[in-house]
Amino acid sequence: MKNVNLNALRVFSVVASYGNLQRPAEELNLSRGAVSQRIKQLEIELGLVLLVRGRAAYLSRRTVSAAIQQ
C-alpha cells in the first residue's frame, strides 16, 4: 500500500460522494481550486487520473474503481 496524504484522501471521499467540486468545496470550506489541487496531489501519489478536468470537472469511474481496489 502506498503512503497517501490523508487530507487529500478525505477530500477525494467527499468529492466522490457528490461527483463534482462545488458542493465538496462548500462543505470543506475550501475553494474549488484547493479541492482540485488536493485531488491532483492524490493522483500523483497513486499514479492515477481520478478527476477529469475540463469545463466541468468530473470523476473518472474507471480510475476511481481502480483506486478503491488498491
Indicate which CATH number applies to the domain containing 45. Answer: 1.10.10.10
In a domain, 35, yes or no: yes
Q: Are 67 and 46 in contact (CB under 8 A)?
A: yes
In a domain, 16, yes or no: yes
Q: Choose the weakest-confidence range: 1-5, 8-12, 19-23, 30-34.
A: 1-5
Q: Which residues contact 11 (CB under 8 A, 6 or more apart)?
A: 24, 28, 30, 35, 38, 39, 42
- In which band, very low, low, confident or very high, does the pLDDT at 58 lie, cut at 50, 70 and 90? low
In a domain, 18, yes or no: yes
Q: Please state the domain count of the chain.
A: 1
Q: Choose the weakest-confidence range: 15-19, 36-40, 46-50, 64-68.
A: 64-68
Domain span including residue 63: 6-69
| Mean pLDDT to the nearest integer, 11-18 | 87
Instruction: Name residue 7's beta-bridge partners.
Output: none
